[in-house]
């Protein structure tokens, strides 16, 4: 049985998707146009990334992958200003500034100010 995840679409709707994601959906997810969320729409706390189909079948032919950079305080590693509020909530929670429940009560502008 395939693992099921929830994604917030570009229009804000929540979609239930089975992994691996279809190619077009996976591309939009990689570009940040879709955001992984919990079934209720809250920012997900899952540490495991979404499995995206790999076009290279042989592991020996895969290019060396750089490690994911650690979050840095300040202006780096934060969502774009036009990112959905859910991404800003996730950023504030990841920095330990608020809980997800508390962050939901703030406006997107307030969340941006907290991270800035």
Q: How far apart are CA 46 and CA 73, in angstroms?
A: 21
- What is the average per-residue pLDDT within 101-108? 89
Residue with tokens 């079948």: 57
pTM of the model: 0.41
Whether residue 32 is predicted with pLDDT greater than 70 in this model: the reply is yes
Percent of the chain with pLDDT over 90: 0
Q: How far apart are CA 35 and CA 12, in angstroms?
A: 10
**What residues pair up with 9 in beta bridges, in sequence order?**
none
Q: How far apart are CA 114 and CA 116, in angstroms?
A: 6
- Sequence-distant contacts of 93-102: CB under 8 A, at least 24 apart: 93/43, 95/71, 100/42, 100/43, 100/45
- What is the average per-residue pLDDT within 81-104? 87
């Amino acid at each position: 049985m395939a693992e099921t995840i929830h994604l917030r679409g570009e229009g804000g709707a929540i979609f239930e998707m089975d992994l691996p994601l279809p190619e077009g959906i996976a591309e939009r997810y990689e570009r940040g146009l879709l955001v992984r969320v919990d079934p209720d729409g809250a920012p997900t706390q899952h540490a495991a990334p979404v499995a995206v189909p790999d076009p290279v079948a042989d592991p020996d032919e895969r290019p060396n992958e750089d490690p994911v950079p650690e979050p840095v305080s300040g202006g780096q590693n934060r969502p774009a200003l036009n990112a959905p509020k859910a991404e800003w909530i996730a950023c504030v929670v990841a920095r330990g500034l608020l809980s997800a429940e508390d962050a939901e009560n703030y406006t997107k502008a307030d969340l941006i100010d907290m991270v800035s």
